[in-house]
A and B are shown apart, each in its own frame.
Chain A
């Protein structure tokens, strides 16, 4: 992640906004951690095309995280780099949703998570594209296009597994059941989001939940599967409370940095 571009010239006024910095960090953490999880499929995917698909999706997600982290460092006034956000924070300082950090499970669990995340991310990034802040709008516009491509991949696999063999359909249904309790956290709002939405800085994620449900249900139903109705919803990632499997994931991601702090090549 080294050799990034130069920051904006000093003529461009940068106003510190702590709430916006937190919000951007959360979105970036979702993208980075999900990207890292998907990287674990490399050499293990069902086909070589799928190996390339999941690693390319991961590459896009990590690209989104890089942009969001750099922006967050500008907005909070510290000028921290993307590397500092990715490699120098401990697990309690990461604010990703639990959805993005869940272990990959079998392929159907990964497809289920991709289905849930991509439909959410397209909606939220499209809403970001309407922001008054040109930096957020530019990111939202480009990122929405990229995630829409990932959504097509997730939709296709949901249909293929759902309408495939009895075994693939059973596994896909089980994947949805595993993932669904973790989807509500994506649309959660707290005082940080409330403050930004009130100020008109960023769009509100909560109203997108019903649109998301409609779109995802359409795909799941078309695949001959049932939309799960979990009686519980997992939360905690946004305030740094993570699952047991999160520590090893971050330790692996940060292993090179921990051996060579500040190394450049």
Chain B
């Protein structure tokens, strides 16, 4: 915009036949489904960054849908999990970077997530970071929710003499227990 007059566009010379449509070349070659799954499962959970989405049991499946589009199915730990938007957006980034820019992320609620979906490796990682892994989930929602506190060992000293401090903790999926042996408070992933 420095005062120069733009050159007058000249009409293109007549062609004998219209050009053939250029094939759409993706920016990156699409990665195999198993590779994408590994990348998605390795994504850290925003609230529990020491554990991947795979070990947390959030990733349900990574597979092409009926229309051929790669689809990632996830099950949120809690319906109101505030980390869900961050998780969805991180998975979309992985899909785009893996050559699946049109990939879908779908929320699957059934069967619901329970703490039983956390893998053995995931439990070890949680314990190593001072978060007591969950005790098995209650069989059904009816009746009082059994909280087998005696079964939760202290992640610091290993003592089983722990008691409830607060049923609600720093994140929605955690409660707070207190160890009567070493007097430390520690978070516990609730088995809900």
Q: A137-B110, A142-B109 are in contact. Are A4 and B88 (CB under 8 A)?
A: yes
CB-defined contacts of A6 to chain B, threshold 8 Å: 104-106
B160-178 CB mask vs A (1 if < 8 Å, else 0) is 0000011111101000100
CB-defined contacts of B79 to chain A, threshold 8 Å: 60, 63-64, 66-67, 139, 142-143, 146
Main secondary structure of the interface of B (DSSP, over half): loop
Q: A6-B105, A135-B109 are in contact. Are A144 and B141 (CB under 8 A)?
A: yes
A1-31 CB mask vs B (1 if < 8 Å, else 0) is 0111110111100000000000000000000
Q: CB distance A149 to B192 under 8 Å?
A: yes
CB-defined contacts of B111 to chain A, threshold 8 Å: 138, 141
Nearest-Cβ distance from residue B40 to partner chain A, whole angstroms = 14
Main secondary structure of the interface of A (DSSP, over half): helix
Q: Does A49 contact B (CB under 8 A)?
A: yes
Per the CB 8 Å criterion, the residue count for chain B at the interface is 41
Q: Does B74 contact A (CB under 8 A)?
A: yes
A64-83 CB mask vs B (1 if < 8 Å, else 0) is 10110000000000000000
Choose among B66, B104, B112, B170 the residue with the greatest number of A CB atoms under 10 Å from its CB.
Answer: B112
Q: A11-B67, A59-B172, A63-B78 are in contact. Are A138 and B104 (CB under 8 A)?
A: no
A contact set with B: CB distance below 8 Å: 2-6, 8-11, 49, 52-53, 56-57, 59-64, 66-67, 122, 125-126, 134-135, 137-139, 141-149, 152-153
Q: Known pairs A5-B84, A141-B141; list 13 more (Cβ under 8 Å).
A: A5-B88, A6-B105, A9-B65, A9-B69, A56-B172, A59-B80, A63-B79, A135-B109, A141-B110, A142-B113, A144-B141, A145-B112, A148-B141
* CB-based closest 3 A-B pairs: A63-B80, A138-B110, A138-B109
B contact set with A: CB distance below 8 Å: 65-67, 69, 71, 74, 78-82, 84-86, 88-89, 104-113, 138, 141-142, 144-145, 165-170, 172, 176, 190, 192
30 A-B pairs whose Cβ atoms sit less than 8 Å apart in the complex: A3-B86, A5-B105, A6-B104, A6-B105, A9-B65, A9-B67, A9-B104, A49-B168, A52-B169, A56-B168, A59-B80, A59-B82, A60-B172, A62-B80, A64-B79, A67-B79, A126-B141, A126-B142, A137-B110, A138-B109, A138-B110, A139-B109, A144-B141, A145-B112, A145-B138, A146-B78, A147-B141, A149-B190, A153-B167, A153-B168
